Structure 1
Amino acid sequence: MNNKFSDKDVELLGKKTLYQGFFKMEQYRFKHRLFDGGWSGEVTREVFERGHAVVVLPYDPVKDIVVIIEQVRIPVLGHTSTPWLFELVAGMIDPGHTSEEVAIKELKEETGLEAISLTKVNECFSSPGGTSERFDFYWAAIDSSNAEGTHGLDHEHEDIKVHLVDREQAYKMVEDGRINNASTVMGLQWLQLNYQKLIAT
């Protein structure tokens, strides 16, 4: 199954910046082709621009252990039982850096670990109805023996706790809702489907 349309089937009528701070908000005006033929009327959408990111799944295939990090996420305050979320390693891709470079850097900063190997799995848009953000998903083969403590950069106000979690227990945390952020859910679901191949290598 292939997409019927491409970029050429969108007519961009205008674009302006509504806000520029740590993040940016852009307003788009456009028309697009319709599935039943013809063109839409003018559509206006606000888009949250935060750049692109990497997500890294640190997994020890020898011990069948996942390294999960925990940190506070203020946007979810009042929307879940706690704003401290269990997550995979992640970080924004700054201009001039590749996603692989950022994956290696963030793994070290957030867990203190270095990847034995790093493999790109796929690319996903985090919430395409409202933001352009895409994350590149990697799994990192690691030795979990020295994974412990708290990590993060002081100047970025990071306070990140490392947890060693058995793979089956990590997936149970997805099933019971203790892990409730999209990239981590997706990463652990991927691991549950593919861990036997990772252990075999």
Structure 2
Amino acid sequence: MPHKTFDIIQRKRGWDGYFKLDVYRLQHDKFDGGKSAILQREILERGHAVAVLPYDPVRDEVILIEQFRPGTLSVQERYPDMPVWLIEIVAGIIEDGETAENVALRETIEEAGCEIIAPLEKISQYYVTPGCSSETVTMFYGRVDASKVGGIHGLDEEGEDIRVFTVSAEECFAMLQNGQLCNATTTIAIQWLMLNRDRIRKEAGI
């Protein structure tokens, strides 16, 4: 397969608020050897995120969070049965000067009220929706002690209102299969746990 190239003809900031929107004019190589037409595309510059699967291998419990998500609101018009409050895993945006690992540790405390007690294990790094956004997610497994986890967490200054709860691994797997976990990040994390749970528990001496 020959090396493919692209040319950015113009890039300008179309919106510079809480989210940033860049407008590109670009051209790229085609698989048939030619060049595409000059395309205009709007790209949401969301930043880069980190997600953490907090799992207690001793108790065999997953920590999940639930919170309101405004991006669901317009979806209700087409899919009224889809939830507005989503069940998720811990996640946050990488700020200037932070590493993905720093964010994983910080967000687990802020959103779930617990600390990671062993070295992080990287699960995956992936594009969220590359057709229209630059956002990536770096995902980790973090070992936690789930014995005292629960309650309401999050930062008031960020408008967070996060319910934290634990479920057994088997219950979590059932939630995925019956459609209760309907966001991609959580789906990827729980599918990874399905494949790696036995190994993780063995490594923890269970």
TM over 0.5: same fold?
A: yes
Letter in 2 for 1:137: M
Which of 19, 22, 26 is residue 26 of structure 1 equivalent to?
22
Partners in 2 of 1:151 and 1:4 — Cα distance?
51
Instruction: Point out where structure 2 has 5 or more consecutive residues left out of the alignment.
Output: none
Query: Residues 81 and 38 from structure 1, CA distance in 2 versus in 1: closer, same or farther, beyond 3 angstroms?
Result: closer
Match of 1:64 in 2: 60
TM-score using structure 2 length = 0.92
- Counting aligned pairs with the same residue, the percent is 42
CA RMSD of aligned residues (A): 1.2
User: 1:1-201 to 2 correspondence within 5 Å?
Assistant: 4-5=2-3, 9-77=5-73, 78=76, 79=79, 80-117=81-118, 118-201=120-203
TM-score using structure 1 length = 0.94
Letter in 1 for 2:26: F
In 1, are the aligned partners of 2:123 and 2:192 still within 8 Å (CA)? no
Query: Residues 5 and 175 from structure 1, CA distance in 2 versus in 1: closer, same or farther, beyond 3 angstroms?
Result: farther
**How far is 1:4 from its partner?**
4.9
**How far is 1:107 from its partner?**
0.1
Partners in 2 of 1:5 and 1:135 — Cα distance?
26
Partners in 1 of 2:2 and 2:116 — Cα distance?
40
Letter in 2 for 1:98: T
Partners in 2 of 1:163 and 1:85 — Cα distance?
13
| Regions of 4+ moved over 4 Å | none
Instruction: Point out where structure 1 has 5 or more consecutive residues left out of the alignment.
Output: none
- Three-state SS of the structure 1 residue aligned to 2:9 is strand
Deviations 1:28-86 (A, max 9, x none): 11111111112111011110111000000000011110000001001102244431100
Partners in 1 of 2:147 and 2:67 — Cα distance?
21
Query: Residues 121 and 81 from structure 1, CA distance in 2 versus in 1: closer, same or farther, beyond 3 angstroms?
Result: closer
